[in-house]
Amino acid sequence: MPKLEKKDLRKAWRSWAMYHLSSMSFEKLEAHGFAHSMLPVLKKLYKDNPEEYRKALKRHSVFYNTEPQTGSLVNGVICSMEEKRANGQPIDDDMFHSIKTSIMGPLAGIGDSTLQGIFIPILLTICMGISNHGNPLGVLLYIVAYLAIILSLSYFLFMRGYTLGIHSVNSIIGENAEKLRDAFNTLGIIVIGGLAASFVKLSTVIKIPNGDEQLDLQKTFDGFFPGLLSLLAVLLCWYLISKRKLSASKVLIILVLISVVGVLLGVF
Amino acid sequence: MPKLEKKDLRKAWRSWAMYHLSSMSFEKLEAHGFAHSMLPVLKKLYKDNPEEYRKALKRHSVFYNTEPQTGSLVNGVICSMEEKRANGQPIDDDMFHSIKTSIMGPLAGIGDSTLQGIFIPILLTICMGISNHGNPLGVLLYIVAYLAIILSLSYFLFMRGYTLGIHSVNSIIGENAEKLRDAFNTLGIIVIGGLAASFVKLSTVIKIPNGDEQLDLQKTFDGFFPGLLSLLAVLLCWYLISKRKLSASKVLIILVLISVVGVLLGVF
Amino acid sequence: MPKLEKKDLRKAWRSWAMYHLSSMSFEKLEAHGFAHSMLPVLKKLYKDNPEEYRKALKRHSVFYNTEPQTGSLVNGVICSMEEKRANGQPIDDDMFHSIKTSIMGPLAGIGDSTLQGIFIPILLTICMGISNHGNPLGVLLYIVAYLAIILSLSYFLFMRGYTLGIHSVNSIIGENAEKLRDAFNTLGIIVIGGLAASFVKLSTVIKIPNGDEQLDLQKTFDGFFPGLLSLLAVLLCWYLISKRKLSASKVLIILVLISVVGVLLGVF
Amino acid sequence: MDLVLFIQALLIGIFCYLGSVSSPWLMGVTGGYYVVGRPLVAGLIVGLILGDVTTGIILGVAVQAAFIATISTGGTQNSEITYAAYGGIALGMLAHASTGVTVTLSVGIGALGLILHNFMMVINSYWNRRAEQAANDGDAKGIVWNNAIYPQIGNFILRVVPVTLAVYLGQGFVSDALKAIPKDVTTMMNVLGGLLPALGIALLMNLLIREKAHFIFFLAGFVFIAFIKNNMIALTVFAILIAYIIYLVKQKAGSTVELEDEVI
Amino acid sequence: MDLVLFIQALLIGIFCYLGSVSSPWLMGVTGGYYVVGRPLVAGLIVGLILGDVTTGIILGVAVQAAFIATISTGGTQNSEITYAAYGGIALGMLAHASTGVTVTLSVGIGALGLILHNFMMVINSYWNRRAEQAANDGDAKGIVWNNAIYPQIGNFILRVVPVTLAVYLGQGFVSDALKAIPKDVTTMMNVLGGLLPALGIALLMNLLIREKAHFIFFLAGFVFIAFIKNNMIALTVFAILIAYIIYLVKQKAGSTVELEDEVI
Amino acid sequence: MDLVLFIQALLIGIFCYLGSVSSPWLMGVTGGYYVVGRPLVAGLIVGLILGDVTTGIILGVAVQAAFIATISTGGTQNSEITYAAYGGIALGMLAHASTGVTVTLSVGIGALGLILHNFMMVINSYWNRRAEQAANDGDAKGIVWNNAIYPQIGNFILRVVPVTLAVYLGQGFVSDALKAIPKDVTTMMNVLGGLLPALGIALLMNLLIREKAHFIFFLAGFVFIAFIKNNMIALTVFAILIAYIIYLVKQKAGSTVELEDEVI
Ligand SMILES: OC[C@H]1O[C@H](O)[C@@H](O)[C@@H](O)[C@@H]1O
Ligand SMILES: OC[C@H]1O[C@H](O)[C@@H](O)[C@@H](O)[C@@H]1O
Ligand SMILES: OC[C@H]1O[C@H](O)[C@@H](O)[C@@H](O)[C@@H]1O
C-alpha cells in the first residue's frame, strides 16, 4: 500500500510554490506547473505501475489556473485523492477534473481580491508610510512580513488540503463560504475606498477673484470635502471601464489627455 | 383615442411645480393647486366631453396635501390614470381619491423629513461653512445645487409616475418601501444628532475657586464631553415637546427665560 | 391576611444593600446576607406562625451569590413570593430555591461585567481625566455619580422585582434576555478594547543607527500603529491566561520579569 | 423722505414676498421658500441691496444657524422664516447690530410674521371657495385666477407692506435701542441665539424618533460631530452606511425564504 | 512616638477597612468597595488626611490606572485593591515617591493584602455556622449578629492593624530604600506600572470573549481609542450603536415570523 | 564603454527578471513578483546597486503609489509592473529626475514591457506543447525541463537585454530630454502621477462592486481616510467590523431555523 510521507508532501508543495507559473501561456497558464508539482507524489504512488503513472501525469497537464499562493490548498487535496486512488478507491479522471475546475475559479476570485486587492496594498501602504523619506525599515518590513505570512499560509493550506481531502472543497465553494466571500468583498470595497483617498491625488490651482482678495478654489473644496476631485477622478475611471466598457489602455490615454489639457487650461 | 403628448405632460408638471401652494389655506392646502396642474391634461383628454371634463375638475379639487417637490410623482400617476380612463378603462372617482389619499401621507412624511430634515440642512451646513466669513461662493453653490437637484428630481418623478402609472404606488407604500422609509428614518436621526452638535451652542462661564487658581467649568466639560450643555438643551426641548406636550411657542418662551435667568445668575 | 407595606420593603432593601457580603466566606458568600435582608419581611408575614417563620429563615440561609447591587431584584421577587405564600398560595421551598439559583448566575454575569467591566471603568476614566493634575472635581464627580446612579438602580430593581414578582425572572433568563446579554457583551468587549488602548502603556527606547542619524523605533511604530506594543502586551496576557491557563499571580510575575529583563536589555 | 432707503426697503419686502411658501413665481417652494426664503440666501440678497455683501452673508449665516432645523409640515411652521430672514437681517445690517442681536431680532420678527402668514391662509379660504365653484362649473380660467392670481394679492400686501415699513422706519429705532441696551442683554441674546436651533431640532426629533432605542442613533450623530469630526458630509456617509445595514437587517428578517438566493 | 503620624496612619487604616468588600457601613459595596475602596477616591482621602490633596489625587489617578480593570467575581479577586490603594498611596506620599514607585508599592501591598483578605473569609466560615444555627432556631437576632457584627471584628483588625503599622513604621524604610534605588529599577517600576492594566484587561477579556470573532470588537475598541479619538465616552456611544445593531440582527433572526410586523 | 554602469545596468536587468511573474527562483510569485517585483522593493534594490539608497527608496515609494492597485488576474495585467519598476526607477535616478517624471517614465516603460511579456507568453505555448507530450510519454524529466527551465530562457532574454540596454544607453537621452522639458510638461507628469492610481482602483472596483449599494462601502472607506484618519490599519479594522456585521446579517437570514440556538 503506497503511502505519502511528510517529505513527499513537502517536495510537492515546494515544486508548486516555485514553478506554478514558470511556463505560463495564454492557453495553459498553470497546467504544467500543476503536473510538475505532482511529480514527487505520483512517482511514489505509482512507482510499480508505469501506465497509471503516465495517465496521472496526463490528467494533471490540462488547463489550470488559480491564485497560486492560496491555490496550494488544491494541490494538497489532489495529493490526498491520488493517494486514495493509488490505494484502490474508485476515483476517476472526471472526479479530479471536476474538483480542480470547480474550485479554481472561486479560489482565484477570493485569492486575488484578498491578496492583491486588500492584503498587499495595505501592507504596502504601511511600509510606504515608514519609508516615506527614504527610511529602509519600511521596505525591509514589507519583505519580511510578506514572505513570512504568505509562505506559511501557502504551506499551511497545502497541508490542510491534504488532511481534509475532498471535504475541504466545501469550505471554499459551499453556501457558508459564499457568505464569507461576500464579507471579504465588503471588506475589500471599503479598503479600496481608503486606497483611493490615500493615493489618488488631484487638486485644482484655479483662483477666483473676489474683490481685492483671491479665493483659492482648492482650499474651498478642502474645507468641506477633502479629496473631492480625487473621488471624481476615480468615479470617472470606474464609469469609463464599467459602464462604457473602455479598456484599461484607453482609460490611461484619457488620463494622459486630462493631465495635458488640464494643465494647458490652467485647471491643475 | 385621446393621447397625452410630452408637451402636455411638461405643462402639467410646470403648473404643479409653480402653483402647488399658491392658494394654500388650512382646509384645502394643495387642493386647487392639484386641479390647476391637471388643466392642460384634462383639456386634452376630455375636449369632446364637457361633462366628463367638469367631473374631472371637480374630483381633483378636493383636499390634498403632500410634500410638493417629491409629490409630483402623484401628479404623473394621476395623468396616466386619467388618460386610461379617457380611453375607456373603468376607473371611477373613488379610485382616484383613494390613490391620492393613500400616497399623500407617506410621501409627505418621507419627503419632508428627507428634504427639510436631511438634504436641506446638510446642503446648508456645507454652504454655510464655505460662506462663513462672507464668501459668496457658498450661497451661490446652495442656490445652484438646490435648484439643479430638486428641479430634476421633481421632473423625473413626475415622468416616472406617468410611465409606471398605478404600479409606482407600491414603491411608495409597499412593504419594502416601509423598510426603506425606516432606513431613511435612521439616516435622518443620525444627521439630526450631528446638526444638534453643530448648531446648538451653550456654554457656562462659571469658574470654581480651587486654592489659588480658578477652575474653568466649561473647560472641564470640554475635556470629557464637548457640547454636553448643548446636548442637555436639546434633550430638554425634546422632553418638553414630546413628553410634556408643550407647543413650540411655549418652548421658545422657556428658552428665552433660560437665557435671561442664566445670564442674570452668571451661569452663561 | 398579612400584607407587606412600603416601609417593610424599604427595610428589607436597606438590609440587603448593607449586609449582602458582611459575613462573606468561600462556602456561603451572600447566604446569610440574604437571610438578614428577609428578616423584616418574614417577621411581618409569619408573626403568627413561628414554625413557618423558622422554616423561611432556614430556606433563605443556603448558599447564595450574585452581583449585590443589581441582585436586589431577586430580593424583591422573593419578598413578593413570600407574601403570596403567607397568603396561602402553594409555593414550596424548592420553588424558592430553584428561582434563586437559576437567576443568581446570569445576574452575576451581566451585573459584574456591566458594572465592573463597563460602567465603573468608564466613569473612572472620565473622572481620572478631570482629576489628572490633582483637580478634586473628578473624584467628587465619581463619588456623587456612582452613589446616585447605583443606589437608585438597586432600589428601583428591588421594587420592580417585588411588583412584577416571579414574572420578572423571564426578563433576566428568557430568550430575549439572552440576546440582550449578548449585546451587552459586545458593548463590553469594545469598551475593554478602548480601556486597553487608554491604560496599557509600553514603549521601546531602541534606536536603530541609520547612516549618520538614528531611527527612533517607537516613533516608527507610532507612525503606523500607535499603541502596538501595548496591544501585544495585552494579547500576551490574554494568551497566558486563556490558552495556557496560567493564574493571575503567575502572569503578574511574568510581567515583572518582562519589565526587569526588558530594562536590563535596554529594550524599554 | 429718504428715497434710496425706501427703494431698498421695498426691494427687500418684495424678496420677502418672493421667498414666501405660497409665492409661485420662482417655481413654487423650490426656488422660492427653499432658496430665496432661506436666511443664507437672504443674507446675500439683502447684502446686495444694501451694498455690503460680506456683512449680509455673515448675518445670513448666523440667522440661518438659528433656523437650521425649522421645517414646515402640513401647512404649519413654528416660525415664519422668510419674514425672519428679510426683516431681521435688513434691520440688523442697517443698525450695525452684532450677529447675536440680529438673530434675536429675526426670531421676534419671525414670530410676528407667523401671525400675518396664518391670516393670509384664512383669507385664502375665500378664494378656495371660488375655485371650487369654478371647478364645479368646468371653468378652467376660474381655477387659474382663484388658485394662482387672486390669493397672491393678500400674500403680496401682507409681506411687502409690513417688511418695507419695518425696514424703512425701524432703522433709527433699532439703532437707538441698541445704544441703550446693557451688556447683559446682549449676552442674553447671544445665549438665546445658540439655544434656538435646539427647538427646531427637538421638533425634528419628535417627528422622527419613534422608540427609545432611536436615541442611540441621535447620540451617535451628536458624538460623531462633537468628538470625532465636525463635518456633516463625513457624518452623512457614515449615517448612510448605518442606515443601509439596518435596512439589510430588516429586509433579511422580513422575508427570509424568498431572499435566500438573492445577490446582495 | 509621633502622635500626629499615628493618628494619620490610624485614619488611613480605618478607611481601608471602610472600603473593604465586606464592610457594610457605607451601603455595602456601593459606597464602600466601589467608592471609598477605589484608588481614585483613596487618593483624595489620603491626601486630605496627610494634608496634600493635589499629590494625593495625582497618585490616586496613577494607582487607579494600574487597577482599572481589576474586578471581583464570585468572591475572588486577583489583587486586594483596597489594601493596595490605602497602603500604597499613603506610603508613596510619605516617602515622596514618584508615581511609578507608588504603583509598584501598591501592587506589592495588594498581593499581601489578598492573603489577609482570604484569611478573613476563612474565619467567617465560623460565623456562618453560627448564623445557620440561628436560622434553624428561628433566632433573628442571632442572624443579625453573626452576619453583620461579629465578622466585622476580624475584618477590622486584619485591615486597621497592618495598614496603620505599615504606614506608621514604613515611611522611614521606604524613604531609605528609595534613596538606594538605582535609576534602572525606577525605570522597571515605571514599565511595570504601564504593563499592569494588561493583566486586569486580559482577565476581563477571558470573561467576555467567547469566540474568536469577538476579537474584532476588541480590536475595534482599541483602534478607536488609539487612532481616532482618545475619549471613552465617544467610544461608548459608538459601542452602544454596534451592540444595538448586533442585537437587531439576532432578534430578527431568532423569531422571524412573529416580529415581521413589529415597529422598530 | 562604462564598465561600472554596464554592470549596474546588468544587475538591474537581472532583478527585473527575478521579479517577473513567471520567474520561479524566489519561490515563484511569492518572493518574485510580489516582493522583488514591487516598485517599493525595486527602489531599495536599485538604490543599493546605484549607490544611493535614500533616493532609490523615495522614487520606489512614488512609483509604488502609482501602481498601488495594479493587479494581475487570469494572466492579464494592465501594465507590466516589474519592467516599470526597474526601468523607471533606474532611469529616473540616473537622470536625477523628479518623482513626477520618474513615475511617468515608469508608466511608459510598463506599457512597452507589457508587449514583451505577452510575447513571452506566446513563445511559452511552444514549451507547453512539449511538456504535454512529455506527460503523455510519462517522461518526468521532460515536464521539468519544459515547465521550469526552457521557458525561462525567453523570459530572461526578454527582460535582461532590453532593461540593461535601456538603463545603459537611456541615461544620457533622458537627461537631455529632461533639460529640454518645459515646466508645463513636468506639471502634467505630476498631475498624471496623481491620477494614475485611479485607474487601478477603478479596475479593482469593477471586480468587486456587484451592485449599486456597494458604493456605500466604497464611499465609507474614502471618507474615513479623507476626513477622519489617514491610516490604513485603522480603516482595515473598521472594515473588518462592518464586514463581520454584514456576515452575521446574511448568515442569520440564510438559515434562520438551524442557527437559532447557535452561540455567536
Ligand atoms: O407636509 C407636507 C407639506 O405640507 C404643506 O403643504 C407645506 O407645509 C409643505 O411645506 C409640506 O411639505
Ligand atoms: O460575581 C458575583 C459577586 O460575587 C461576590 O459576591 C463578589 O465577588 C461580588 O463582587 C461579585 O459581584
Ligand atoms: O487570477 C488567478 C491568477 O491568474 C494567473 O495565474 C496570474 O495572473 C495570477 O497572478 C493570478 O493570481
Domain coordinates in residue numbering, chain F: 3-208, 211-264
Q: Look at F78 and B105; give whichever has higher pLDDT.
A: B105
Mean pLDDT (whole number) for A132-151: 94
For chain F, list the contacting chains (3+ Cβ pairs, <8 Å).
A, C, D, E
- Express as a percent the part of chain E with pLDDT over 70: 95
Is the domain of B147 the same as that of B80? Answer: yes
Please write the tens of the pLDDT for every residue from E198-212.
998 999 899 889 899
Is the same domain home to A143 and A250? no
Residues C108-120 have a mean pLDDT of: 91
* Closest chain B CA to residue E237: B225
Could you give the percent of chain E with pLDDT greater than 90? Answer: 77
Task: Work out the pLDDT band at E257, boundaries 50, 70, 90.
Answer: very low
How many domains in chain A? 2
C and D touch per CB criterion (3+ pairs under 8 A): no
Please report the pLDDT score of residue C35 as a whole number: 96
Which residues of A fall within a CB distance of 8 Å from D233? 224-225
Residues B38 and B144 in one domain: yes
Ligand sitting nearest the alpha carbon of E37: 2
Let me know if residue B1 belongs to a domain: no
Contact by Cβ (8 Å): B165, B99: no
- On the question of pLDDT at A118 being above 60, the answer is yes
Question: Does C186 share its domain with C60?
Answer: yes
Which chain D residue shows the shortest CA-CA distance from A228?
D233
Collapse the DSSP code of C208 into the 3-class scheme (helix H, G, I; strand E, B; otherwise coil) and give the result.
Answer: strand
Nearest CA distance, F220 vs chain A (angstrom): 6
**Cell numbers of E120, please?**
478573613
Residue D231 has a pLDDT of 92
Question: What is the DSSP pairing of strand C207-210 with strand C213-216?
Answer: antiparallel
At residue F236 the predicted structure's pLDDT band, cuts being 50, 70 and 90, is: very high
Contact E259 D253 (CB under 8 A): yes
Residue C181: pLDDT band (50, 70, 90) is confident
Average pLDDT for chain D: 91
- The per-residue pLDDT for B1 is 74
> What's the average model confidence in pLDDT over E117-142?
95
CA of C30 relative to ligand 2 center, distance in Å: 9
Which of A160, A192, A224 is a domain's end point? A192
Per the model's pLDDT, the better-predicted residue between A232 and D180 turns out to be A232
Distance from the CA of A198 to the center of ligand 3, in angstroms? 26
- Residues of chain C above pLDDT 90, percent: 75
The residue in chain E having the minimum alpha-carbon distance to the alpha carbon of residue C140 is E41
Ligand 1 binding residues, C-beta < 6 A: B 21, 29-30, 65-67, 108, 112; D 72-75
pLDDT at D254: 60
Looking at the structure, tell me whether residues A136 and A110 fall in a common domain: yes
**Which D residues 79-138 touch B at CB under 8 Å?**
79, 107, 111, 121-125, 127-128, 131-132, 134-138
Q: Report the residue of chain B nearest C131, measured CA to CA.
A: B220
Whether C182 and C216 map to the same domain: the answer is no
Contact B75, B16 (CB under 8 A): yes
Q: Which of B137, B165, B192 is the last residue of a domain?
A: B192
Residue B192's pLDDT is 93
CB contact under 8 Å between D233 and F245, yes or no, is no
* Averaged confidence pLDDT in chain F: 91
Tell whether the model's pLDDT for residue E49 goes beyond 90: yes
Q: Is the pLDDT of residue C128 over 70?
A: yes
Q: What percent of chain D has pLDDT over 90?
A: 77
Cα gap F8→F54, rounded to integer Å: 17
- Name the E residues in 89-128 with CB < 8 Å from any F CB: none
Instruction: Measure the CA–CA gap between C235 and C227, rounded to whole angstroms.
Output: 12
Residues B24, B62 share a domain: yes
The label of the residue with cell 519583505 reads: A143
* D29-64 pLDDT, tens digit each: 999 999 999 999 999 999 999 999 999 999 999 999
* Residues on chain A touching F144 (C-beta within 8 angstroms): 36, 39
Residues of B in contact with A225 (CB under 8 A): 126
Cα-to-centroid distance, B68 and ligand 1 (Å): 7
User: Over chain B (268 residues), what is each successive 10-residue block's mean pLDDT?
Assistant: 90 97 95 96 92 94 96 95 92 91 90 91 92 91 97 96 85 79 91 93 90 83 92 97 92 94 94
Average pLDDT over residues A102-109: 90
Residues of D in contact with B236 (CB under 8 A): 198
Q: pTM, whole model, 2 decimals?
A: 0.90
Predicted confidence (pLDDT) at residue A227 exceeds the cutoff of 90: yes
pLDDT-derived band at D75, boundaries 50, 70, 90 = confident
- Ligand of minimum distance to the alpha carbon of A67: 3
Contact E210, E81 (CB under 8 A): no
Nearest atom in ligand 2 to the alpha carbon of residue C20 is: 6
Out of A163-167, D97-101, D128-132, E174-178, the most confident range is D128-132
Given pLDDT bands bounded at 50, 70 and 90, which one contains residue F188? very high
Give residue B32 CA to ligand 1 midpoint distance, Å: 15
Tell me if C116 CB under 6 Å of ligand 2. no
User: Phi, psi (5° rounding) for residue C216?
Assistant: -85, 110
Q: Is the pLDDT of residue D22 over 70?
A: yes
Residue D233 forms contact with F (CB below 8 Å): yes
pLDDT surpasses 90 at C209: no
Measured distance CA(C209)–CA(B102) in Å, rounded: 76
Task: Tell me the average pLDDT across E17-24.
Answer: 96
Q: CB–CB of D128/D75 below 8 Å?
A: no
Distance CA E85, CA E70 (A): 12
Q: What is the predicted pLDDT for the residue at A127?
A: 93
The answer to which of D150-154, F151-155, F187-191 has the lowest mean pLDDT is F187-191
**What's the confidence (pLDDT) of residue F40?**
97
Q: Which domain holds residue C235?
A: 201-264
Residue D215 C-alpha, separation from nearest chain F C-alpha, in angstroms? 21
Q: Mean pLDDT across the stretch F68-78?
A: 87
A108 and A221 in a common domain: no
Instruction: List, chain by chain if needed, residues with CB within 6 Å of any ligand 3 atom.
Output: A 21, 29-30, 65-67, 108, 112; F 72-75
Q: Per-residue pLDDT for F171 more than 90? A: no
Q: Are residues B92 and B136 in the same domain?
A: yes
Q: Which residues of A touch D (CB under 8 A)?
A: 182, 224-225
Q: Is the pLDDT of residue E61 over 90?
A: yes
- In this predicted model, what pLDDT tens digit does every residue of A181-200 receive, in sequence order? 889 899 999 999 999 999 99
E218 contact residues in F (CB cutoff 8 A): none
- In this structure, is residue A1 part of a structural domain? no
Ligand 2 atom with minimal separation from the C24 CA: 6
E248 touches chain D (CB under 8 A): yes
The three-state secondary structure class of B207 is strand
Atom of ligand 2 nearest to the CA of C115: 12
pLDDT at residue F255 above 70? no
C213/C172 same-domain check: no
Q: How far apart are CA B23 and CA B32, in angstroms?
A: 7
Q: Are residues A132 and A232 in the same domain?
A: no
Does the structure show a pLDDT above 60 at F24? yes
Question: Is residue F53's pLDDT more than 90?
Answer: yes
Out of D228, D245, D264, the one facing F228 most closely (by C-beta) is: D228
E76 strand-pairing partners:
E73
pLDDT over threshold 50, residue E258: no
**What whole-number distance in Å separates Cα of residue D74 and Cα of residue D88?**
26
- Confidence at residue E254, expressed as pLDDT on a 0 to 100 scale: 60
Q: How far apart are the first and last CA of chain B?
A: 73
Nearest residue, CB atoms, F250 vs list A127, A139, A182: A182
**Amino acid (1-letter code) at residue D13:** G
pLDDT at residue E259 in the model: 34
E231 touches chain B (CB under 8 A): yes
Q: Of D89, D94, D52, nearest to D67 (Cα)? A: D89
Q: Within a domain: residue A41? A: yes
F250 to chain E: closest CA residue:
E249
pLDDT at D17 over 70: yes
User: Would you call D73 an interface residue with chain E, using a CB distance cutoff of 8 Å?
Assistant: no
Indicate the residue type of E222.
Answer: F
pLDDT (0 to 100) of residue E179: 86
pLDDT at E77: 85
Mutate to test the interface with E, among C15, C199, C228, C232 (most CBs of E within 10 A): C199
Q: What is the mean pLDDT of chain C?
A: 92
B27 vs D58, D125, D235: nearest CB: D125
Q: Is C98 or D1 the better-scoring residue by pLDDT? A: C98
pLDDT band at E256 (very low <50, low <70, confident <90, very high): very low
Q: How much of chain A, in percent, has pLDDT values that exceed 90?
A: 75
Q: Are residues C183 and C228 in the same domain?
A: no
Whether chain C has a CB inside 8 Å of the CB on F231: the answer is yes
Count, residues in chain B: 268
The DSSP bridge pattern shows strands B207-210 and C213-216 to be unpaired
Which one is predicted more confidently, F254 or A109? Answer: A109
Nearest Cβ partner for D243 among B183, B192, B227: B183
What is d(CA C128, CA C122) in angstroms, rounded to the nearest whole number?
10
Last residue of a domain, one of B160, B192, B224: B192
- Binning chain F into helix, strand and coil, the percentages to the nearest 5 are 80, 0, 20
pLDDT digits (tens, 9 = 90+) for D192-226: 989 999 998 999 899 889 899 999 999 999 999 99
Residue in D with minimal Cα distance to E228: D228
Q: What is the C-alpha to C-alpha distance for residues B215 and C135, in angstroms, rounded to an integer?
A: 9
